[in-house]
Structure 1
Amino acid sequence: MQRIAICAPATPLSREYAEQVTALASAEFPSLELVFHPQCYEQDGHFAGSDAVRAAALLECANDPSFDAVWFAKGGYGSNRIIDAFLEGAKPPAHEKTYLGYSDCGFLLGPFHRLGIGKAVHGPMPVDIGRDGGEAAVRRSLRWFTGDKSGLEQSLDDRPTLAFNLTTLVALLGHTHCPDFYQHVIIIEEVAEYLYALDRMMFAVTHDLHHCAGIRLGEVTAIPENDRPFGASAEEIVEDWCTRRGIPYLGRAQIGHTADNHIVPFTSLSD
């Protein structure tokens, strides 16, 4: 029996979603025990509890040797606000776990990978149960926890690979917690940003990622309508900036804020 701790490092999860995920896991994955931390349902303004409450819950889950993995319940915004507190309080058991999530949780996955804290994995979270077809997304992560690799992103090869929401990646660049991108394939995805904002972020990202092995584009969803057409698609924007900076554009990937979000374990040159 594997025990999976679930906490919310950014915004709160609804109890309804937690109940649906628990029921699915109980019915189809008897080898997994899901334990939702009560902090998942806390609310303090935008956040799932104060910074101190969220950091304490993450540390409680990570430092508990009875848990095999920590599954982030939901993204939103706020994970970056607790990373320093986590690093100060992380104990040896925290270094032995798998940490799975995406979007804003990249603020945790990136530093964990950089510092060798457990195994960082980009993949669906419990909140995805609320999407159309969301059960398939949740099953993908539950299968991963059991050792089933059928949900892996199909473009993965023997090159080290990292996956990030683009907004999160831009915020990490140049920070002491930013992972090393040298000779890594970088998979990016985005949600709810104007195309001109995507273009602006690619201007920044490609300046700092000139030494990576290439960029692959996941889903870009919920694009707001601007007052005039931008004149290029999301893929054309990404490909254009890769060309300008001499970075290989590697095509598309199945990750992002959709039910088709696939698993990307963070890997390094030493793996």
Structure 2
Amino acid sequence: MKIALVAPSCTLKQEAADLVTALAATRRDCELAIHPQCFLSDGHFAGSDEQRLSALREVMEDESVDAVWFARGGYGSNRIAEAACSDLSVTAMRKTYLGYSDAGFLLAGLHKAGCEVAHGPMPQDILRDGGEAAVTRSLDWLLTRDRAGVEPSISYPVQAYNLTVLSSLLGTAVEPDLTGYELLIEEVSEHYYRIDRLMYHITGSANVRGVVELRVGNMSDIPENDPVWGSDEEAIVKDWCERASINYGGRAIIGHDAANRVVPFGRN
């Protein structure tokens, strides 16, 4: 199976690329192709919008590629998402796409277009403590659809997003249809007041109010609130779900950490 890496947001670190390449080389069933664009730099981004979009469309149209693995998160995939997910060829539609965090813009648009997508660890995650196990979960799922690394308590058609990304998706051309889905959310490095504000926004959406249930993953590296907020992230999510008559389904094992599980969109 040939897996292509592209970086729709920020530059992939060479150390991560080397470690993931070595890990993939131990798998007889895996051919890993890292697009040179992953190492470009244009300010914040892994190349200009045009370069990032061109590299993504190139691997999407490559008939030898079976899966596209987004190299890392950061910020930037929203700037190319609508163009990347438009007018998809049969070749692009046949591929599997995997990533999370900022890549959620692409996951939403590609899933909406009918592609197979999953939220899960990316190559850059190999630099985390325990990162090799996280990246291995994604490789195992991509190569064999191994369910050992899949979020264990999924019981409905499901989609998973970073909370900030989901909030930004609402009202756009690549907004996902969430009606009848289980919705999983996670967040990193946001104050409690911002998590509260984001929950106000997403639970005010008629689209989000159509979910079967909403579950919260890890919300990590939360900065100190001044003044003290007085509750935690789960209490915030529960409160806004109750206000919007959304069923709160408990916790999920997703987030910006090495425990992050794979969540294939759709029925599982």
Under a length normalisation based on structure 2, what TM-score does the superposition of the two structures give?
A: 0.96
The aligned residue for residue 70 of structure 2 is 72
Residues 216 and 250, structure 1, Cα contact 8 Å, conserved in 2: yes
Residue deviations 1:96-154, cap 9 Å, x none?
000000000000000111111x2110000000001010001000001001221211101
CA distance in 2 between partners of 1:186 and 1:84 (Å): 22
1:232 has 2:216 as partner: no
Amino acid at match of 2:120: G
- Which whole-Å CA distance do the structure 2 matches of 1:155 and 1:192 have between them? 26
2:262 corresponds in structure 1 to 263
Provide the alpha-carbon RMSD of the alignment.
1.1
Query: 1:172-231: CA deviations, max 9, x gaps?
Result: 012121111111110000001000000000001111111211100000001111222111
2:199 aligned with 1:202:
yes
- In structure 2, C-alpha distance between the alignment counterparts of 1:175 and 1:87, rounded to whole Å: 13
What is the CA-CA distance between 1:84 and the residue it aligns to? 2.7
Matched, 1:187 2:172: no
Partner amino acid, structure 1, of 2:263: V
| Distance (Å, rounded) in 2 between the aligned partners of 1:90 and 1:57 | 15
Aligned partner of 1:178 in structure 2 is: 175
Q: Distance in 2 between matches of 1:85 and 1:111?
A: 10
In structure 1, the gaps of 5 or more residues are none
Alignment correspondent of 2:153 = 155
Mapping for residues 24-39 of structure 1, pairs under 5 Å: 24-27=23-26, 29-39=27-37
Runs (4 or more) in structure 1 with deviation over 6 Å come to none
Aligned length: 265
Amino acid at match of 2:185: I
What is the DSSP-based 3-state SS (H/G/I as helix, E as strand, rest coil) of the residue aligned with 2:85? helix
Following superposition, the deviation at residue 92 of structure 1 comes to 2.0
Aligned residue for 1:217, secondary structure, equals strand
Name the counterpart of 1:220.
219
Pairs within 5 Å for 1:102-121: 102-116=100-114, 118-121=115-118
Distance 1:236 1:190 in 2: 15
Residue of structure 2 equivalent to 1:99: 97
Amino acid at match of 1:143: D
| CA displacement 1:12-58 (0-9 Å, x = unmatched) | 0111110001101112x221011000000000000000000000000
Q: Where do 1:4-83 residues align within 5 Å? A: 4-27=3-26, 29-83=27-81
Structure 2 spans left out of the alignment, 5+ residues: none
- 1: CA distance, partners of 2:266 / 2:136: 22
SS of the equivalent of 1:85 reads: helix
Alignment deviations for residues 46-74 of structure 1 (CA, whole Å, 9 cap, x no partner): 00000000000001111101000000000
Counterparts of 1:35 and 1:176 in 2: how far apart (Å)?
A: 30
The Cα shift of 1:88 comes to 4.4
In the TM superposition, what is the alpha-carbon distance from 1:91 to its structure 2 partner? 2.5
Q: Which amino acid aligns with 1:80?
A: N
Q: Which amino acid aligns with 1:180?
A: D
CA drift at 1:89: 6.2
Q: Give distance in 2, aligned partners of 1:139 and 1:254.
A: 16
CA contact (8 A) 1:59 1:89 kept: no
